[in-house]
Amino acid sequence: MDIALSILTGFAVAGASYLMMSGSLIRFLLGLVIVSNAVNLIIFVSGRLTFAGAPFIDKAVGSLGVDAANPVPQALVLTAIVIGLGLFAFTLALALRAYSEMKTDNADEMRLAEPRKDQE
Amino acid sequence: MNLLLVPIILPLAATAICVALRRVSGLQRVVNFVAALGLAWTGWLLVTAVQEQGIQSVQLSGWAAPFGISLVADQLAATLIMLTGVVASMVVLFGFSDLTSGEEKHGHPIFVQALLTGVCGAFLAGDIFNLYVWFEVMLIASFGLLVVGGRKDQIDGAVKYVGLNLIATTAMLAGIGLLYGATGSLNMAALHLAVEGNMDQPGILAAASLLLFAFAAKSAMFPLYFWLPAAYHTPSHTTSALFAALLTKVGVYTLIRVFSLVFDVQHPLLQVLLVTSGVATLSLGIFGAMNENHARRVLAYLVMVSIGVMTLGIAAGTTAAIAGTILYLMQTLIVTAALFMIVGCVAHLAKTEKLDRMGGLWRSYPIMGAMFVLIMLGVAGIPPTSGFWPKVLLVSALAEAGRWELVLAVVVGSLATLYAVMRLFSAAFWQATKTRRRAKVDIFRFTPIFILTVLVVGFGLNGQGLIDTARLSSVSIIDPADYINQVLGERP
């Protein structure tokens, strides 16, 4: 299971890098979504994947059983997903605005902030 | 309430109040300024608390470390919070004149306070995942500040800033994930114990590289600096000053923290990366600053030069070198804000930011000129200004450690910085021009620049206090036993 997920993560990062380096803003964003999900998988695998039970403490026992799953990576991934969603929403809006202001989604042609010497 | 929570809760509360008052910009201004001043005062209380009782820490919700989230303030974090408050209040004051009413209405004060929340959180975080969360808070607030106003070139700059910074935070998250997988811990004090002696494990080394990548991008180190000269000159001068003073410095702070507390900076791989990157950042910053015709882009490249110098100090890694780096960090916080604000003022008076179109300000504004000279000396590190002491400390520490190549880089860097700022000065004040300047320097622009200039000269004439603070901070950075005992409790 760990190995399968690790390989999947590798493929996701490779695909995302390809998309992000294409120069188009929308492809960059799609790559960003894929890579942030790949990173969530990394955290998930880091916490060890097991077929254990839910990490609830039985009141009668008073302590965590031996077959409980690790809850920390789930909390981390959840935090990362929420933050990622917020940032992605902002980035999408920014990309839309950039497209309507500059009439291009190619990063190489966005030269308003850094004009070429001959166009200054 | 614990004093450690105040630097986070105060700006957070101010953010909320500013949201509620978003239609009343007068009150918003007051809240913004008072909260920033309060932050400086809280920082001062923290500094005295750390001096009297040692490192302070608090375990949130009473969950004992290393399982809960710890906030820790040592000498370095406390001093930086204080300086952040001082600089932020001055920049807010400057913004009263500099910002357009549109920018104020569209949430500039809200984002400033949100940014301060993130910055203070990052200074206090004792847990590496918590550090990531504060970075995100800082990031989203800085996105807002960057696009508020909505001019075309701002949007363009923001696209590059957002793109590179999102890649960096993703890398940071991946590094944290790998580190957790390799050690099973997220608390930085516990990580120190887990990583010590295991630096060569592939998981830990990979995590170190990813985190170095992330912090390098945050602090605009080579080869991840492109966003800085692309974005820093597009928003208002107020925003530029705030970003230049705080954001990259937080990157450097986390570099110092994580690469002394968690990782061993003397590992050959980290040494190669830090030294090459530091020298390259320094040189590219110099070349950029010498060639650029846009005043604020010259400053953006000068920020890079200072980042390069600090990277070299971190790479050298001796107690004295870290002391020099910390002192440099503290003084560059103040002097960068002063430099960006005075250039903002110059651009306002000259009605242009192009160097070849400025000029002739000396005759009409001699006091501004004098302040510019003092701040310029502070940036270049020449007495009688505060910039001199960190250079002395750093260069002697590097020489002591036998790193002569780094000494050469730092010395060449400061000479070139002097050249670049003199170029700015002569373009703005001495260059002959036909147009007459009639604009007035108003009180909100003048006061913050004046106060910061006084600080720069004051610390230059009597730098003992800051030097002692930096030395004390560096001791606990190099030998983190106190920090670890404070967070995890006394161990046998």
Interface subset of A 29-48, CB within 8 angstroms of B:
32, 35-36, 39, 42-43, 45-48
Residue written as token pair 């008073």: A62
Residues near B366 by beta carbon (within 8 Å), at least 6 away in sequence: none
Q: Is A23 in the B-facing interface, judged by CB distances under 8 Å?
A: no
Q: Which two tokens stand for residue B170?
A: 């993703």
Task: Render pLDDT for B411-446 as a digit per residue (tens, 0 to 9).
Answer: 998 889 999 888 888 888 887 776 666 677 888 888
Contacts of B170 in chain A (CB under 8 A): 32, 35-36, 39
Rama region for A32: left / alpha / beta (φ>0; ψ in -120 to 50; rest): alpha
Chain B, nearest residue to A42 by Cα: B177
B438 versus B165: the higher-pLDDT residue is: B165
Task: Render pLDDT for B32-50 as a digit per residue (tens, 0 to 9).
Answer: 999 999 999 999 999 999 9
Average pLDDT over residues B118-137: 93
Q: Quick check: B492 pLDDT over 50?
A: no
Mean pLDDT of chain B: 88
Residues near B405 by beta carbon (within 8 Å), at least 6 away in sequence: none
pLDDT of residue B117: 95
- Residues linked to residue A53 through DSSP beta bridges, in sequence order: A68
pTM of the full predicted structure? Answer: 0.92
Q: Is A72 in the B-facing interface, judged by CB distances under 8 Å?
A: yes
Q: Is B181 in the A-facing interface, judged by CB distances under 8 Å?
A: yes
**Angstrom distance (rounded) from CA B4 to CA B9:** 9
- Residues linked to residue A24 through DSSP beta bridges, in sequence order: A106
ipTM of the complex: 0.91
Task: Render pLDDT for A41-79 as a digit per residue (tens, 0 to 9).
Answer: 999 888 877 777 777 877 887 777 777 788 888 889 999
Contacts of B173 in chain A (CB under 8 A): 36, 39, 43, 80
Report how far apart, in Å, the C-alpha atoms of B182 and of each of A48, B178, B206, B222 are: 11, 6, 10, 28
Residues near B309 by beta carbon (within 8 Å), at least 6 away in sequence: B278, B282, B328, B394, B409, B410, B413, B414
Q: Do B171 and B165 form a contact (C-beta atoms < 8 A)?
A: no
Q: Is B194 in the A-facing interface, judged by CB distances under 8 Å?
A: no
| Min Cα–Cα distance to chain A from B233, Å | 8
Report how far apart, in Å, the C-alpha atoms of B419 and of each of A65, B298, B381, B466 are: 68, 11, 12, 27
Q: Is B60 in the A-facing interface, judged by CB distances under 8 Å?
A: no
Q: Is A9 in the B-facing interface, judged by CB distances under 8 Å?
A: no
Residue A102 has its nearest CB partner, among B156, B163, B166, at B156
- Taking one residue from A and the other from B, the number of pairs with CB-CB distance under 8 angstroms is 97
Average pLDDT over residues B181-204: 87
**Angstrom distance (rounded) from CA B90 to CA B94:** 6
pLDDT class of B490 with cuts at 50, 70, 90: low
| Min Cα–Cα distance to chain B from A18, Å | 14
Residue B140 has its nearest CB partner, among A28, A46, A90, at A90
